[in-house]
Structure 1
Amino acid sequence: MAVAALALLLPAQAATAARDPLAEAEARVTAARRAANEAAQDYEEAQTRYWVLQDDIEQTRAAIGQIESSAAGLRSLAQQRAVEAYTDSGLEIDALVDGDDVLDARRRNELLERVNEDGDNAVARLGALTEDLRVQEANLNNQIAEQEQLVEQLKQREADLRDAVAAAERAEAELRERLERERKAREYQERLRRARAAAAASSSGRGSAGGAGQIIATGNWVCPVQGGASFGDSWGAPRSGGRRHQGVDMMASTGTPLVAVVSGSIQLRTGGLGGNAIWLSGSDGNTYYYAHLDDFAGGARSVSAGEKIGTVGNTGNARGGASHLHFEIHPGGGRAINPYPTVRANC
């Protein structure tokens, strides 16, 4: 499915591809990332709409409860006023309940009907309003069910496009490796030709970088997700419990490596909304929060920028949803700011 999605991401460029296959591969990666990011944004917006509907239905149910309570109060008040009015008329209370006299019964009924008429009308109006609200509640339930289906569809679409990004990146990496092997082979043949022509052995050794251990990326500020990731700007979007989204959700496959964005020290946390989480106190004076990790890579310690600290998952309140990293930036260790522009510039 990822290959099929990739085929639709780029217009036909046969002439360009024939001249520069690497440029075509890079363009496919760029198009795949753009489509995946758009899918991630659609997924975030669908989730936001789902929580808005949940709030609406809770408010509707609360309104129904208040109206039903008001109607019950009106009925009780109407009965009480009937008794008081009857008492003020000079009749005995026993006659109101047990009177056998026909005139007394007729008088009692007229008085009760007159006193209760306004209350009954008010109760009827409240009943009609309650019915309208129940229709609204049923409509909201239908919308929530439809929104749940849409969220699942967008979740699958985002996963398919993320697979397409990974496939495009693998194809680009394989092409780069092949082109690099071919380049090195041409260079070797050229050096050999010159050496034979000059009848002198001349070679320049080239060292290769050793294993980097857990350092899997370099730079002053490193993208926290080291693999195919897609994300949109969902800062401030509604979340369960009346919360607002305080980070960026970076969609990636379970197990995708997570690294320290800057050097500093990390503390590990488990449980709560974030599930497996990490607080990184950066050497740049800022604090960074990673949530919903599948697993940690090592324990609390000092880390270098680009050092692996965990893997992408869906723990905490993300359980059952799409695997992703919830990432926050707290300048100076204070309140969170929208991390999307920073992530966009570095990932």
Structure 2
Amino acid sequence: MRRWSYTALAWVLALTLCAPSVALAATQAQLKARLDQLNKQSAAAGERYSKAYWALDETDVKLARTNRRIKSTRKALSAARKLLNEHANAIYRRDELDLLVFLVGSSTFEELVTRADYLGRIGKSDAKVISRVENLSTRLLAQRDELKAQRVGRAKDAKHLRAERDRLQGRLKSTAAEYRRIRAQLDAQRAGGRLPAGVRAVAGPNGMVFPVAGSHYYSDTWGASRSGGRRRHQGTDIMAQRGTPVVAVLSGRIRASNNGLGGKCLWVTADNGWSFYYAHLDRQIVKSGRVRAGQVIGTVGSTGNAQGGSPHLHFQIHPGGGAPVNPYPYLTAME
């Protein structure tokens, strides 16, 4: 009887010790599910913004194409008018007497016919030049009308984009406070109760820290056409409010750079040799030296060619410091 009591007591103690771990796991799952719900609330607005952004991009490509055609037409028209002027000046300089002398001066009938045919050909050549000038002028007017219509369309697209941008930012703002609160709880539990000093966020299931520490939206746009097919998207755009903290994905060394495309950028070269590229930042908080995983290194912005659009982080992953790979599956495993 006493032996049975000891056995029962041992089972009770074992279940008691295991209970916190089970509860903790359930709590983390619940917190993660709530974060996913908050991010999904921004998804519809994010998708509408993306459609509006690329509609405007397509319009810009059409505008650029039309401008190139107008430039080519103007060049051809200028050359045709120059040739026509040269012919007109030549005709003006030779009067009817000159033409008569030219014809009468023929020594034989065959030569007379030849000279008359020559003058006829000059007339036909002038007629072709005149026709070309008329055709090019008509084409130029049509292209200018097309350009005018495209500019009106672009203004509408730009207005629609601004509306969708503001709607997306409003949605992200509405979930920001709750997102921070729940994320802080989740990070504290993942860190065992307390975050290390100087760290804003902790690693997710794949051992990497999600690069944006705040409410956000992103989708898989790897390889998507950009600028009318002139380039391909080699990263993931993570939409967030301007000023949202950006953190180091892994520990390593950091360096800052600036360029017209990415604006204010940061490169983190992790201790494992992988490189991470952060672009369109509003601020570069850490520009050199070592950084820890989860340390704040900058803030989300819209610098570079993202000016006027919704603030976001353009994020790239370069395994082993080589060519970029699709960040999307890595990002989903970081959350």
Look up the match of 2:136. 126
Please give the alpha-carbon distance, in whole angstroms, between the structure 2 residues aligned to 1:327 and 1:23.
26
- Select the residue among 219, 228, 237 that pairs with 2:215: 228
Look up the match of 1:6. none
- 2:311 is equivalent to residue 301 of structure 1: no
- Select the residue among 25, 43, 46 that pairs with 2:49: 43
Q: Is the 8 A contact 1:25 1:171 kept in 2?
A: no
Q: Is the 8 A contact 1:25 1:168 kept in 2?
A: no
Deviation at 1:121, TM superposition (A): 2.4
Moved more, 142-151 or 304-313: 304-313
- 2:128 is equivalent to residue 144 of structure 1: no
Moved more, 33-42 or 216-225: 33-42
Q: CA RMSD in A?
A: 4.0
Look up the match of 2:66. 60
Q: Is the 8 A contact 1:260 1:308 kept in 2?
A: yes
Q: In 2 relative to 1, CA 316–55 (structure 1 residues): closer, same or farther, beyond 3 Å?
A: closer
2:49 is paired with a residue whose SS is helix
Deviation at 1:87, TM superposition (A): 9.0
Please give the alpha-carbon distance, in whole angstroms, between the structure 2 residues aligned to 1:226 and 1:130.
53
Structure 1 letter corresponding to 2:235: G
Mapping 1:208-227, distance limit 5 Å: 209=193, 212-219=196-203, 220-227=207-214
Look up the match of 2:15. none
Deviation at 1:46, TM superposition (A): 2.4
**So what's the TM-score if we normalise by structure 2?**
0.69
Look up the match of 1:312. 300
Please give the alpha-carbon distance, in whole angstroms, between the structure 1 residues aligned to 2:212 and 2:248.
9
Q: In 2 relative to 1, CA 335–301 (structure 1 residues): closer, same or farther, beyond 3 Å?
A: same
Look up the match of 2:317. 329
Unaligned runs of 5+ in 2: 1-27, 102-115, 187-191
- 2:171 is equivalent to residue 165 of structure 1: no
Look up the match of 2:17. none
1:246 is paired with a residue whose SS is coil
Q: Is the 8 A contact 1:32 1:161 kept in 2?
A: no
Unaligned runs of 5+ in 1: 1-21, 96-106, 178-207
Q: In 2 relative to 1, CA 67–23 (structure 1 residues): closer, same or farther, beyond 3 Å?
A: same
**So what's the TM-score if we normalise by structure 1?**
0.67
Moved more, 142-151 or 270-279: 270-279
Q: In 2 relative to 1, CA 241–30 (structure 1 residues): closer, same or farther, beyond 3 Å?
A: closer
Deviation at 1:257, TM superposition (A): 1.9
Deviation at 1:30, TM superposition (A): 3.4
Look up the match of 2:263. 275
Deviation at 1:299, TM superposition (A): 4.8
Deviation at 1:69, TM superposition (A): 2.7
Please give the alpha-carbon distance, in whole angstroms, between the structure 1 residues aligned to 2:93 and 2:286.
83
Please give the alpha-carbon distance, in whole angstroms, between the structure 1 residues aligned to 2:201 and 2:78.
68
Q: Is the 8 A contact 1:78 1:115 kept in 2?
A: no
Structure 1 letter corresponding to 2:154: I
Deviation at 1:44, TM superposition (A): 2.9
Write out per-residue CA displacement over residues 105-145 of structure 1, whole angstroms, 9 at most, x where no aligned residue. xx9xx978765333222222222222221221111111111
